[in-house]
Structure 1
C-alpha cells in the first residue's frame, strides 16, 4: 500500500523521449477507419489486444484485493490482458494469495500474467503460475528499486541463469521486464540467448520506483532518481538485439504514446500508473471507458498514417529530434533511417 500511495503522489517523471518523435503526415492514407485491425502479433504470448494492464498490485491485503478485482473486471470487459504485481508476498505469506487469485476469479477466461522477481527459483515460478492459472509469467528486473529500498536486496548474481532455467522448464511463455529503468541493447543481447518469449522494456519516464523508495528512506539516494534508459530509446535498443516480441511500458500515457511505441518496433504496450490513478480516483466504469477510448484513438491515428494494422506502423516515416536524436547517434543508430522509411 505504501507503493501504491507513493506512486500516486510522486506521479510520473515524463522523461520517456516520446516528445522527441513526430510523424510525417500521410495526406493519402488510402483506407478508412473501418479497415483498421487493432490486432498485433506477439508470438507465443498470443495477446488479443496491443494494450494491456501492466503489473502493479497484490500482496497488500484486502485493499489490494479490491483494487485487483476492479482492474480484472476492466480487463474482462475490454478484452485485454492483465499482469499482477509481484507474487513473492503470497509465496511468503499464504494469507496474501487472495489478493492475486481474485484476478482469475473475476476474469476466468482472461489472459492473466503472473509476476516474480529475478531472485525466484523454478519451484517458486511454478507455484506462482499455478496460484492464478497464469497464461504467462513476468520476471521483473529491479536492481535500482532494490538498491534504493531500505530493506531491499544487495546481491544480484545468478539472475540470468535463473531466468534461463525458468524459461526452459515452465509451461507458459516467460516475459522479462524492467521496473521503470529500461533495458539496454547489452542486456537484451544476453536475454536473447535464453528461451524467453518477450522483453518488456519498462523504460524510464513512468512511475519512478527510486523516487518511491526514497520516500521511505531517512537518507535519500537522489542519484538514482534520474537513472535509466528512457522508454523510446529502450524500445529501439531492445528491438535491435532481441528477435522475439517487444513490449513497451514506462510512462505510456495515451494512444499517441502507444502509436509512437509501435512505430519504433514494439508489438504491444502496457499501462500501469495512468490506469491505477483512474481506477482509484474514478472507479471501474471510467477505467473501462478510458481503455475503449485508447482503442478508438489508436484506430483514428492508424487511419491517418495509412497503417492497416500494428505491424504497418513500423513502415511509417517519423522524425526524431532532441535528446532522443542525440542519444541514438551516440549509441550507433541512424535517426535518419526512421525518417526515410518506404511507406506502401
Structure 2
C-alpha cells in the first residue's frame, strides 16, 4: 500500500533526523538566573498540570507520532504501555489512514488496548470533516481530539493537499460538533499568536505551538522527491520555534499572568531533555509534548525502556523545579530568565520586555 509505505518512510527519515540533530536550538537562547538560596524541598513540588478538564500527573505528554504500519504498531504499543504505567497523556499519530484503510486500524487501536484508562488523544489532519473527526474519536475511545495543521508539509509532499482555505472553517465546525476537547497543533513549523487567536475565536480551547527544531516534515517530504530541479530544500527549517511561538503568545496575552486560565497553550518541537521542558514552562507553556526524542526508544528499546524514560524525565523536572524554587509548573512563570541569541531579537521586535522577565521573582503573586 502506497500510504503505508509513506508512513514507514516517515519513521525512517524521522529517526535519521534524530541521529543527526541540529547543533543548536532556540532553547539554547534561554537561561535561568540562578538564585542559590531560592531552592525548596523536593516534596514541596507538585508536578501536576491542569490542561482542559484534566490534571496531568506531570507537565509532559507523548505527542502524536505514527500509525498505519507494522513498525508503527510496535512503536504505538510500547508508547501506550509506558503511558499506562506512568499516567502520562498520549496522542496517536494521524488516524486518517485508518479511516481510509480500515485494515490499518489495529496499529492505532493498540494504544487504547494497552492503555485502557489513560488520557488518549486521537489525531487527524486539518481538512478532514466533522464526520471524520467523530470517527477518529470513536476509533480510540479518545478523551480528546488532536487536529494537526501542516501546510508546509502538504506543500512539499508530492501527493500533498494544497487546498488550505477551508481549514479554519472546518476546525470551527469540528470544535462545535464533538463531545471531547479539541487540541490544534502544528507539526513543526509553529503557531503564531495571530494563528492562536484565530483558533481561540473558532472555539478551540487547547493549542500546541509545535515549533521547528525537531522533526522537520518538510525535509522528510523533500527526501521523498526525485531530487534535481524538483527540490524544496530551501524550505528546510521554515516557520517559528517553540521559543518564538511562546514569546509571541506572551506578547498577545495568551500566556503568562493575566492569561485566560480556561485556554491552554502547550508546547512541543525539538525537546531534547528535561531542561527544555523547564524552559518551555518558564515561557508560559502549560505542558510540553515530546515525540522525536522518544521515537527511537519506543522502536528499538521497548516498553520497559520507554517507561524508564518517562519516569526519569518526570523526576528530573521535579528536581529542577525544586532547584529554582517553583512549587508547581504554573510557578515557573515567576522564575527569572535571560533571553539571548536570535530569540532576543525576536522578543524585541514583538515587544517583549526582556528586562521584566529577568526579575519576575520579585513580583507579587
For the criterion TM > 0.5, the same-fold answer is: yes
Report how many residues are paired.
343
Secondary structure of the 2:48 match is coil
Mapping of residues 178-193 of structure 1, within 5 Å? 178-193=186-201
Cα drift, residue 304 of structure 1: 1.1
> Could you list the runs of 5+ residues in structure 1 that have no partner in the other structure?
none
Partner of 2:4: none
CA distance in 1, matches of 2:266, 2:280: 9
Secondary structure of the 1:187 match is helix
Q: Which residue of 333, 355, 359 maps to 1:314?
A: 333
Q: Which residue of 27, 33, 38 maps to 2:36?
A: 27
Partner of 1:254: 273
Partner of 1:293: 312
Partner of 2:88: 80
Larger deviation, residues 276-285 vs 81-90: 276-285
Q: Which residue of 225, 248, 265 maps to 2:284?
A: 265
The answer to whether the 8 Å contact 1:59/1:97 transfers is: yes
Using structure 1 for the length normalisation, give the TM-score. Answer: 0.96
**Deviation per CA, 1:86-111, whole angstroms, max 9, x where unpaired?**
11101101101111111001110011
CA distance in 1, matches of 2:131, 2:54: 22
Using structure 2 for the length normalisation, give the TM-score. Answer: 0.91
Q: Which residue of 145, 148, 170 maps to 2:153?
A: 145
1:68 aligns with 2:87: no
CA gap of 1:24–1:205, structure 2 versus 1, over 3 A, is same
The answer to whether the 8 Å contact 2:251/2:352 transfers is: no
Cα drift, residue 305 of structure 1: 0.6
CA distance in 2, matches of 1:135, 1:46: 13
Partner of 1:171: 179
Cα drift, residue 229 of structure 1: 0.3
Secondary structure of the 2:176 match is helix
**CA-atom RMSD, angstroms?**
1.4
The answer to whether the 8 Å contact 2:39/2:323 transfers is: no
Q: Which residue of 84, 106, 119 maps to 2:114?
A: 106
CA gap of 1:139–1:293, structure 2 versus 1, over 3 A, is same
Q: Which residue of 334, 350, 354 maps to 1:331?
A: 350
The answer to whether the 8 Å contact 2:39/2:324 transfers is: no
Cα drift, residue 239 of structure 1: 4.3
Cα drift, residue 226 of structure 1: 2.0
Partner of 1:10: 17
CA distance in 2, matches of 1:133, 1:333: 42
The answer to whether the 8 Å contact 2:91/2:121 transfers is: yes
Q: Which residue of 39, 59, 64 maps to 1:55?
A: 64
Q: Which residue of 198, 209, 221 maps to 1:213?
A: 221
Larger deviation, residues 44-53 vs 180-189: 44-53
CA distance in 1, matches of 2:178, 2:23: 36
**Deviation per CA, 1:126-161, whole angstroms, max 9, x where unpaired?**
000001000000110100001111111111011111
The answer to whether the 8 Å contact 2:251/2:351 transfers is: no
**Deviation per CA, 1:315-339, whole angstroms, max 9, x where unpaired?**
1111111110011111222222211
> Could you list the runs of 5+ residues in structure 2 that have no partner in the other structure?
1-7, 255-259
CA distance in 1, matches of 2:231, 2:54: 39
The answer to whether the 8 Å contact 1:10/1:211 transfers is: no
CA gap of 1:140–1:4, structure 2 versus 1, over 3 A, is same
Cα drift, residue 220 of structure 1: 2.1
Mapping of residues 114-125 of structure 1, within 5 Å? 114-125=122-133
1:234 aligns with 2:245: yes
CA distance in 1, matches of 2:101, 2:23: 35
